[in-house]
Amino acid sequence: MKYAFPDNFWWGSASSALQTEGAREGETTWDYWFAREPNRFHNGVGPQQTSTFYQQWKTDIQLLKQLNHNSFRTSISWARLIPDGIGEVNPEAVDFYNQVIDELNEQGITPFITLFHFDMPMAMQEIGGWENRDVVDAYARYAQICFDLFGDRVLHWFTFNEPIVPVEGGYLYDFHYPNVVDFRRAATVAYHTVLAHAKAVQAYRAGHYAGEIGIVLNLTPSYPRSQNPADVKAAHVADLMFNRSFLDPVLRGEYPADLVALLKSYDQLPACKPDDGFLIAEGKIDLLGINYYQPRRVKCRDSAVNPQAPFMPEWFFDSYEMPGRKMNPYRGWEIYEPGIYDILVNLRDNYGNPRCFISENGMGVENEQRFIENGQINDQYRIEFISEHLAWLHKGISEGCNCLGYHMWTFIDNWSWCNAYKNRYGFIQLDLKTQQRTIKKSGEWFAATALNNSFDRE
């Protein structure tokens, strides 16, 4: 069967500043944490070891072109642009991002730019990070500076990438700095992130810039183990906490009432100011980026909660390991392709069918060298992964979902937070020592699909 996509469908990939660029003047929480706890990072490899996009951007944009990308998302590094987060703008960073943006446009690759992709300037973390409203204002200033500097040539902006992840990693489950486990602080961080997002949207609207503004959310559809009301309720709470805590404010301009009521009943609500509601209502977006990697399967708890234990989302559900589920064993994530369709249908039916696109989808695999044939990684598994997801995406579009494109994570194998280079995701293989880049089979497959705006599959 031939799967053909709408005209002007966005074909591309995503990356981020910290994961690709390499060293910079402004320190981030990642540099700080790595210097103190290198053992937290796979093989002790830190964020300084990258595919050196800061030097190789021109070559890399040629490679993007070779892969027939018509669009590409990366982020601006707040710490590179404004090393202390709030003060002087670094003119070298301005030159760098100008060159990248201009070259992308010249090559016919539309730049999609994220403002915050997990890379908090250390100077901002030192004053409390997202727990401090001054950081919200500093972020809004940073956003305004980016719009003023680049807004004439960047027409697709994203305030945050996966804002729930720094909440989970930094304040609940200890996989990002500052390694806190405290729900109320997590809720404050999430809330202030929504305020920061809304302030950026407000500034963008006020400046009458030429393009559109959105956010990138990792949506994990929550599936209950069974239709038993207790399982269904468990899935509903997981959905409220992990999806709707950001989805509702950015699409509906307000929080779900039952999420607010639930947190209130456990005294976990962040401190609010009287005008916050108006601000959040102004944060409604033009375009939603959806990162989809895995579903979330849950069941009701079998045991009572220890009332002395820290309050956690898991007070309301347990994760459910569905028998026979298909796994990516390297990342430990379930692969469930229909999830992409379920997300789109939910957006269509419950959120007014917003303009959206798949901003990340991908498969990290360990030791891909074992698949080298004639000098090239033959990653057939990745081609299957992409085509199966695209088939479900295609079904969603044919049923009226407003999905405008598909970006893969990622372009070149890159540094992955605590996993460093353990799992490789790229269309292009990176030799970290020589910096040599070699296109994988999946890169060729994607280039052909993008060129034809379609692919064939049995």
Would you please indicate which residues are annotated as catalytic (active-site) residues?
360
Q: Are 168 and 296 in contact (CB under 8 A)?
A: no
Give the nearer residue to ligand BG6 in terms of CB position, either 188 or 423: 423
Give the nearer residue to ligand BG6 in terms of CB position, either 18 or 263: 18
Residue of the chain from 13, 16, 75, 159 that contacts ligand BG6 (CB under 6 A): 16
Binding to ligand BG6 by residue 161, rule CB under 6 A?
Answer: yes
Give the nearer residue to ligand BG6 in terms of CB position, either 149 or 238: 238
The secondary structure of 192-220 as a DSSP string is HHHHHHHHHHHHHHHTT-SSEEEEEEE--
Binding to ligand BG6 by residue 419, rule CB under 6 A?
Answer: yes
Residue 333 CB, nearest approach to ligand BG6 (Å):
8
Residues in 330-349 that interact with ligand BG6 by CB under 6 A? 331
Binding to ligand BG6 by residue 424, rule CB under 6 A?
Answer: no
Instruction: Round to whole Å and give the CA distance between 266 and 281.
Output: 25
The secondary structure of 118-172 as a DSSP string is S--BHHHHHTTGGGSHHHHHHHHHHHHHHHHHHTTT--EEEEEESTHHHHHHHHT
Binding footprint of ligand BG6, residue count (CB under 6 A): 15
Instruction: Round to whole Å and give the CA distance between 230 and 82.
Output: 49
Residue 331 CB, nearest approach to ligand BG6 (Å):
6
Give the nearer residue to ligand BG6 in terms of CB position, either 222 or 414: 414
Exposure b/e, 142-160, CB count within 10 A at least 16 = b: bbbbbbebbbeebbbbbbb
Residues in 362-401 that interact with ligand BG6 by CB under 6 A? 364
Contacts of 306 (CB under 8 A, 6+ apart): none
Q: Are 341 and 397 in contact (CB under 8 A)?
A: no
Binding to ligand BG6 by residue 220, rule CB under 6 A?
Answer: no
Q: Are 431 and 442 in contact (CB under 8 A)?
A: no
Structure tokens at 377: 């990684």
Stretch binding ligand BG6 (CB under 6 A), from 302-310, 384-392, 398-406, 409-417: 409-417
Residues in 254-313 that interact with ligand BG6 by CB under 6 A? 291
Stretch binding ligand BG6 (CB under 6 A), from 35-43, 161-169, 294-302, 436-444: 161-169
Instruction: Round to whole Å and give the CA distance between 122 and 166.
Output: 14
Identify the bridge partners of residue 430 per DSSP, sorted by sequence position. Answer: 437
Give the nearer residue to ligand BG6 in terms of CB position, either 188 or 361: 361
Contacts of 238 (CB under 8 A, 6+ apart): 222, 296, 298, 313, 316, 317
Contacts of 318 (CB under 8 A, 6+ apart): 234, 298, 299, 300, 301, 302
Residue 189 CB, nearest approach to ligand BG6 (Å):
17
Stretch binding ligand BG6 (CB under 6 A), from 47-55, 83-91, 188-196, 415-423: 415-423
Give the nearer residue to ligand BG6 in terms of CB position, either 419 or 435: 419
Binding to ligand BG6 by residue 416, rule CB under 6 A?
Answer: yes
Site of interaction with ligand BG6 (CB under 6 A): 16, 19, 161-162, 165, 218, 291, 331, 360, 364, 409, 416-417, 419, 423
